[in-house]
C-alpha cells in the first residue's frame, strides 16, 4: 500500500522568493511519484513525475523535485515564485508500472504575496 | 482535441434524487477514472475502467455506479443522492497501462440538500 503526506495545507511566499512544498511518501514497493497543480475551478494538471530514472526531475513552469529514498521525500521547489504560481498542489504516489492506481495527498494551497 | 469533458459543471440535487455525471474523452485513451475531491481531503478514487466493458471499484465506490460501453464515455451514476455525496467530481483518462500521465476534466460541483 502507498500513502502520501503533504506537510502544510497552506504555504505563503513572497513574489520572487523560493517555493518549497513538502511531500513524504510511504510505499511497500518502489514508488512512482507525481506532482499535480490545480488552478481555481480547473482540473488537475501534471507538473512533473519521477519514474525511477533521474532523481532530480524538472517539470513545467520552472518547478523541479528531487526523489530522496533515504528520506522518503519528494519535495517540490521553484527558485523564484511568480504570481501565476498561486494554486493548489498535490503530491501523488503509485507503485511502479502504469497499471497502478494513484494515491493523492491532501494538497497544499500556495499563496503568493506581492 | 477537446481532451476530457464533463457535464454538467454544477448541479444541485435533493436527497433521494438520482443523476448521471457525464465524462467523455476524445484522445482514444483506454483507462478512465472517477475521483471525488472534498476540502482538505485530496482526491479519492471512486471507480475506474481499463477499457470498454471493464470497470472496477476504487477506494470509495459506495453509492455510485459506472458503465463503460464505449472507449470515449465513462458516466458516473448516483442513485439515491445523500448529503455525503456533496463534492467536486473529476473524471480523468490515460492512454494505457504503460503511460503515467492522467488527463483531468474540469470537474462537476455537486451539492445534495
**Cis previous bond, B17, omega within 30:** no
Quick: pLDDT tens for B8-37: 999 999 999 999 999 999 999 999 999 999
Give the 3-state secondary structure of A46-94: EEEEECCCCCEEECHHHCEEEEECCCCEEEEEECCCCHHHCEEEEEEEE
- Quote the cell numbers at residue B75: 458516466
Subunit contact B107:A106, Cβ cutoff 8 A: no
Closest Cα in chain A, distance from residue B59 (Å): 10
**Cβ atoms of A114 and A15 closer than 8 Å:** yes
pLDDT interval class at A28 (50, 70, 90): confident
Subunit contact B90:A99, Cβ cutoff 8 A: no
Angle formed at CA B105 by CA B99 and CA B108, multiple of 5 degrees: 145
Contacts A105 to B, Cβ<8 Å: 42
Nearest Cβ partner for B104 among A43, A99, A107: A43
Contacts A107 to B, Cβ<8 Å: 40, 42
Which CA distances in Å does A62 have to A57, A103, B29, B42?
A: 11, 24, 28, 24
Q: Using a CB–CB cutoff of 8 Å, tell me whether B21 touches chain A.
A: no
Q: What is the mean pLDDT of residues A53-77?
A: 94
pLDDT value, residue B40: 81
pLDDT interval class at A17 (50, 70, 90): very high
pLDDT interval class at A97 (50, 70, 90): low
Subunit contact B42:A104, Cβ cutoff 8 A: yes
pLDDT value, residue B88: 95
Subunit contact B90:A43, Cβ cutoff 8 A: yes
pLDDT value, residue A96: 66
Contacts B55 to A, Cβ<8 Å: none
Q: Using a CB–CB cutoff of 8 Å, tell me whether B39 touches chain A.
A: no
- Residues 52-91 (B) with a CB less than 8 A from some CB of A: 58, 90
pLDDT value, residue B105: 94
- Quote the cell numbers at residue B53: 466493458
Contacts B100 to A, Cβ<8 Å: 32, 34, 49, 51, 94, 98
Quick: pLDDT tens for B30-88: 999 999 999 888 899 999 999 999 999 999 999 999 999 999 999 999 989 999 999 99
Report CA Rg, chain A. Answer: 13
Round the average pLDDT of chain A to a whole number and report it. 91
Closest Cα in chain B, distance from residue A42 (Å): 5
Closest Cα in chain B, distance from residue A57 (Å): 15
Quick: pLDDT tens for A30-47: 788 999 999 988 889 999
d(CA B44, CA B54): 20
pLDDT interval class at A6 (50, 70, 90): very high
Q: Using a CB–CB cutoff of 8 Å, tell me whether A44 touches chain B.
A: yes
d(CA B54, CA B52): 6
Q: Which residues contact B62 (CB under 8 A, 6 or more apart)?
A: none
Higher pLDDT, A83 or B2: A83
User: Is residue B71 classed exposed, middle or buried when 0-12, 13-18 and 19+ CB atoms within 10 A define those classes?
Assistant: middle
User: Is residue B22 classed exposed, middle or buried when 0-12, 13-18 and 19+ CB atoms within 10 A define those classes?
Assistant: middle
Amino acid at each position: 500500500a502507498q500513502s502520501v503526506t503533504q506537510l502544510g495545507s497552506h504555504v505563503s511566499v513572497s513574489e520572487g522568493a523560493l517555493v518549497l512544498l513538502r511531500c513524504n511518501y510511504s510505499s511497500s514497493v518502489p514508488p512512482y511519484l507525481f506532482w499535480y497543480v490545480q488552478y481555481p475551478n480547473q482540473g488537475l494538471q501534471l507538473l512533473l513525475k519521477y519514474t525511477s530514472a533521474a532523481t532530480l526531475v524538472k517539470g513545467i513552469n520552472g518547478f523541479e523535485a528531487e526523489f530522496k529514498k533515504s528520506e522518503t521525500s519528494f519535495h517540490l521547489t521553484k527558485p523564484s515564485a511568480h504570481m501565476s504560481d498561486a494554486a493548489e498542489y498535490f503530491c501523488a504516489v503509485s507503485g511502479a508500472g502504469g497499471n497502478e492506481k494513484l494515491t493523492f495527498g491532501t494538497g497544499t494551497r500556495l499563496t503568493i504575496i506581492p | 482535441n477537446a481532451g476530457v469533458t464533463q457535464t454538467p459543471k454544477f448541479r444541485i440535487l435533493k436527497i433521494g434524487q438520482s443523476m448521471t455525471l457525464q465524462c467523455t474523452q476524445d484522445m482514444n485513451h483506454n483507462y478512465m477514472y472517477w475521483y471525488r475531491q472534498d476540502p482538505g481531503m485530496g482526491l479519492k478514487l471512486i471507480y475506474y475502467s481499463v477499457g470498454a466493458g471493464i470497470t472496477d471499484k476504487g477506494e470509495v465506490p459506495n453509492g455510485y455506479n459506472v458503465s463503460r460501453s464505449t472507449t470515449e464515455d465513462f458516466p458516473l451514476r448516483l442513485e439515491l443522492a445523500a448529503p455525503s455525496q456533496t463534492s467536486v467530481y473529476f473524471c480523468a483518462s490515460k492512454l494505457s497501462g504503460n503511460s503515467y500521465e492522467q488527463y483531468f476534466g474540469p470537474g462537476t460541483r455537486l451539492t445534495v440538500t
